[in-house]
Amino acid sequence: MGKPLLKIKKLKVKGNGKEILKGVDFQIKKGEIQALLGPNASGKSTLVHTTLGNPKYKIVGGKIFFEAKDITKFPPEKRAKLGIAMAWQSPPAIKGLKLSQLLLEISKNAETTTLPPPSQPLAGPHSSRYLGESLLEREVNVDFSGGEKKIAELLQVICLCPKLVIFDEIDSGLDIKRLTNAAKIIKKELVNKKVSILLITHSGAILNFLRPNITNVMVDGKIICQEKDYKKVLKIIKKYGYEKCKKCKLLAG
Partner 1 sequence: MAMKNVKSANYWQVDHKVRNIFEVKGITVLSSPRAWEKFDWARKWFEEKPKEGYFIWVKKQVDFPLVTCITIATPKISQNLNNLLVIEKGIKAKAIVTCNAAENKLCGKHRAKGKLILKDDVSLEYNHFHKWGEKDFVSPDYEFILGRNSQLLYTYQNLFPPENLQLKTTIYSNENSSSKLNFIINGLNSNIRIQDLIFLKGKSSQGIARLRLAGRENSQIEAISKIFAQAPSKGHLDCRGLLLDRTAKISLIPEIVCQNKDAQITHEASIGKISEEELTYLRMRGLSETEAIDLIVSGFLNI
d(CA 201, CA 215): 10
Q: Which of residues 141-160 bind partner 1 (CB under 8 A)?
A: 156, 160
Q: Count residues binding partner 1 (CB under 8 A).
A: 30
Of 5-13, 20-28, 77-85, 201-209: span binding partner 1 (CB under 8 A): 77-85
Quick one: 59 or 94, whose CB is closer to partner 1? 94
Q: Can you tell me which of 19, 67, 139, 220 binds partner 1, judged by CB under 8 A?
A: 139
Q: Which helix (H) or strand (E) holds 45?
A: helix 44-52
Q: Can you tell me which of 99, 102, 155, 174 binds partner 1, judged by CB under 8 A?
A: 102
- Least separation in angstroms between CB 94 and partner 1: 5
Q: How much helix, strand and coil, in percent to the nearest 5, is found in the chain?
A: 35, 30, 35
Residue 117 near partner 1 by CB under 8 A? no
Q: Can you tell me which of 17, 18, 68, 95 binds partner 1, judged by CB under 8 A?
A: 95
- Least separation in angstroms between CB 166 and partner 1: 10
Q: What angle do CA 200, 204, 210 make, to 5 degrees?
A: 80
Q: Cα–Cα distances in Å, from 4 out to 38, 50, 76, 196?
A: 23, 18, 20, 10
- CA nearest neighbour of 99 among 129, 163, 144, 147: 144
Q: Cα–Cα distances in Å, from 152 out to 81, 126, 227?
A: 20, 12, 31
Q: Can you tell me which of 24, 28, 36, 106 binds partner 1, judged by CB under 8 A?
A: 106
Contact positions toward partner 1, by CB under 8 A?
52-56, 75-77, 79-81, 85-86, 88, 91-92, 94-97, 101-102, 105-106, 109-110, 113, 139, 156, 160
